[in-house]
């Protein structure tokens, strides 16, 4: 069978974007949009893609950086399918394995933006990082500091060569968080004052919020074969996503500098990012994180299966409309309209979003995407919201394992096993406490402030309620417990 590079060719254009990350999300979101902007808006810009940690870039080399984004879903009431071969990836460099190649990208005079997605765990400062000119820092912000310094020196501090950082990591104030880390490196590494000033006054770190469900390469052999059959060629980098997309950039002033918004790829520029962020993180991501771990234990595999199951669906309805939406700071009407769209997206029959993919790093996700809502709900109503409380119990049940796998823990669902993926320190803590009696396990996990940023046993009644859920799940099964909870008013 043909390969994607037998049916298309890359188009060389000025590189305007340095992209840190080669993951499924960025490839189906940023490159998709830039390709459209090149085609329909004459943006005339390409992307230099950096693989932040891994040495692996063979798939890109093999395919001359070409790959296909396949959009599947409903649009304006009818079935929508789009297969687009992405042609805007100019080069792919592995930062750790070709550090000088990475730094050389800083010399490109057409560069304007740095877009990153290094997961919720990527924006951090590591005090063991050394300021060695030839050695990549461990973290993405460390590498970015090295990159900015190289650019500053190469262009002798020219103001028009400063860069705008547009991180898309789903954390609070991602632009501010990235800037803070970069300045920590500049200060700890005692870098020159003029460079610090150039980064501070000429570069910009702008917070942004992305939204598109991307499931990546198909998981089942049959689906892979069907996709290749439909395309007429093979593509190891094939990336499946929904048609919906939204990128909100928290600086109204950037609109002219970044003219990429089109009907197919909607980019909004605003000075009020927080309203968008709260709505999306609490409703969409909060619904995912509070539903999927229990639903997986209850026998479900995909988000679509949950939507089709009346018991899980009732949980979703009661938690989204009864517990989450009342805490969102916007009119109920607008929040409900957003939730209705999210439901339609979760029901998309063409995009199979695996619950186990969403389960990755659930401790940090629950902390960022559910805990603030739980606390606001308690403050509003004076009682524990039943489903968000249950969702913590479901997380603790999903994670409870003493069995180590390869970089993960191994959980049991009936006679089957599944992998639990999280930060190594988190898994080590779980593993050493999983064998305790339910109440002790719950207390140990909830009191571990490095998971949640605080000791959750201080929230009145929460540990007791979570323990009761855990015991009831063990007694009657997770599905029966969800059904029983749904009946309670």
Ligand X SMILES: NC(=O)c1ccc[n+]([C@@H]2O[C@H](COP(=O)([O-])OP(=O)(O)OC[C@H]3O[C@@H](n4cnc5c(N)ncnc54)[C@H](O)[C@@H]3O)[C@@H](O)[C@H]2O)c1
Ligand Y SMILES: O=P(O)(O)OC[C@@H](O)[C@@H](O)[C@H](O)[C@H](O)CO
For ligand Y, the binding residues (CB under 6 A) are 170, 211-213, 284-285, 288, 358, 360
Residue placing its CB nearer to ligand X in the complex, 122 or 250 = 122
Phi–psi pair at 463, nearest 5 degrees: -60, -40
Task: Give least dist CB 358 to ligand Y, A.
Answer: 4
Dihedral angle over CA of 258, 264, 270, 273, nearest 10: -120
Task: Give least dist CB 423 to ligand X, A.
Answer: 9
- Is-contact 193 201, C-beta < 8 A? no
In angstroms, the CA 121 to CA 270 distance is 26
- Summarize as ranges the residues that interact with ligand X (CB under 6 A): 21-26, 52-54, 117-122, 140, 170, 210, 212-214, 216
CA distance from start to end of the chain? 58
Residue placing its CB nearer to ligand Y in the complex, 72 or 433 = 72
The one of ligand X, ligand Y, none whose footprint includes residue 52, by CB under 5 to 8 A per kind, is ligand X
Residue placing its CB nearer to ligand Y in the complex, 360 or 431 = 360
The residues that bridge with 214 in the sheet, in sequence order, are 241
- Is-contact 52 95, C-beta < 8 A? yes
Task: Give least dist CB 122 to ligand X, A.
Answer: 4
Task: Give least dist CB 248 to ligand X, A.
Answer: 12
Task: Give least dist CB 211 to ligand Y, A.
Answer: 4
Where are the alpha helices (H) located in 248-399, listed in sequence order? 273-279, 286-297, 303-308, 310-319, 332-346, 355-359, 362-369, 371-381, 386-399
- Return the H-helix or E-strand segment holding 106: none
The one of ligand Y, ligand X, none whose footprint includes residue 14, by CB under 5 to 8 A per kind, is none
The one of ligand X, ligand Y, none whose footprint includes residue 358, by CB under 5 to 8 A per kind, is ligand Y
Residue placing its CB nearer to ligand X in the complex, 178 or 394 = 178
- Is-contact 422 361, C-beta < 8 A? yes
Task: Give least dist CB 418 to ligand Y, A.
Answer: 16
Residue placing its CB nearer to ligand Y in the complex, 46 or 391 = 391
The one of ligand X, ligand Y, none whose footprint includes residue 122, by CB under 5 to 8 A per kind, is ligand X
Contacts of 148 (CB under 8 A, 6+ apart): 106, 163, 182, 195, 199, 203
The one of ligand X, ligand Y, none whose footprint includes residue 140, by CB under 5 to 8 A per kind, is ligand X
Residue placing its CB nearer to ligand X in the complex, 128 or 331 = 128
């Amino acid at each position: 069978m043909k390969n994607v590079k037998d049916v298309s060719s890359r188009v060389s254009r000025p590189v305007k974007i340095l992209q840190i990350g080669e993951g499924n999300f960025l490839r189906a979101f940023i490159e998709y949009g830039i390709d459209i902007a090149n085609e329909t808006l004459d943006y005339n810009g390409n992307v230099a893609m950096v693989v932040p940690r891994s040495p692996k870039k063979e798939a890109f080399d093999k395919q001359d950086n070409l790959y296909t984004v396949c959009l599947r879903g409903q649009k304006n009431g009818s079935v929508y399918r789009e297969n687009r071969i992405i042609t805007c990836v100019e080069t792919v460099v592995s930062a750790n394995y070709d550090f000088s190649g990475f730094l050389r990208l800083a010399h490109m005079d057409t560069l304007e933006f740095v877009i990153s997605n290094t997961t919720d765990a990527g924006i951090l400062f590591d005090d063991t990082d050394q300021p060695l000119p030839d050695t990549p820092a461990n973290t993405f912000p460390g590498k970015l500091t090295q990159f900015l310094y190289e650019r500053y020196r190469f262009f002798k501090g020219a103001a028009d060569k400063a860069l705008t950082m547009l991180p898309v990591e789903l954390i609070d104030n991602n632009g501010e968080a990235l800037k803070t880390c970069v300045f920590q490196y500049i200060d700890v590494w005692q870098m020159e004052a003029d460079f610090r000033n150039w980064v501070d006054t000429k570069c910009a770190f702008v917070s942004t919020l992305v939204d598109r469900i991307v499931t990546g390469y198909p998981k089942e052999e049959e689906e892979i074969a069907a996709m290749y059959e439909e395309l007429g060629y093979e593509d190891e980098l094939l990336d499946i996503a929904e048609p919906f997309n939204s990128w909100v950039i928290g600086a109204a002033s950037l609109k002219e500098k970044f003219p990429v918004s089109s009907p197919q790829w909607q980019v909004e520029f605003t000075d009020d990012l927080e309203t968008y962020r709260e709505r999306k993180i609490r409703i969409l991501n909060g619904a995912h994180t509070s539903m999927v771990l229990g639903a997986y234990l209850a026998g479900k595999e995909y988000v679509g299966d949950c939507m089709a199951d009346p018991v899980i669906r009732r949980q979703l309805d009661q938690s989204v409309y009864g517990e989450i939406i009342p805490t969102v700071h916007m009119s109920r009407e607008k929040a409900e309209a957003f939730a209705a769209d999210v439901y339609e997206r979760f029901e998309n029959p063409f995009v199979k979003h695996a619950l186990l993919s969403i389960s990755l790093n659930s401790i940090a996700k629950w902390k960022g995407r559910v805990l603030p809502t739980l606390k606001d709900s308690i403050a509003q109503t004076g009682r524990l919201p039943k489903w968000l409380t249950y969702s913590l119990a479901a997380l603790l049940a999903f994670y409870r394992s003493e069995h180590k796998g390869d970089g993960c823990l191994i959980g049991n669902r009936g006679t089957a096993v599944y992998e639990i993926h999280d930060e190594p320190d988190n898994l080590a803590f779980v593993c050493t406490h999983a064998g305790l009696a339910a109440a002790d396990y719950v207390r140990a996990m909830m009191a571990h402030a490095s998971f949640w940023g605080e000791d959750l046993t201080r929230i009145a009644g929460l540990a007791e309620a979570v323990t009761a859920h855990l015991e009831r799940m063990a007694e009657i099964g997770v599905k029966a417990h969800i059904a029983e909870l749904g009946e309670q008013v």
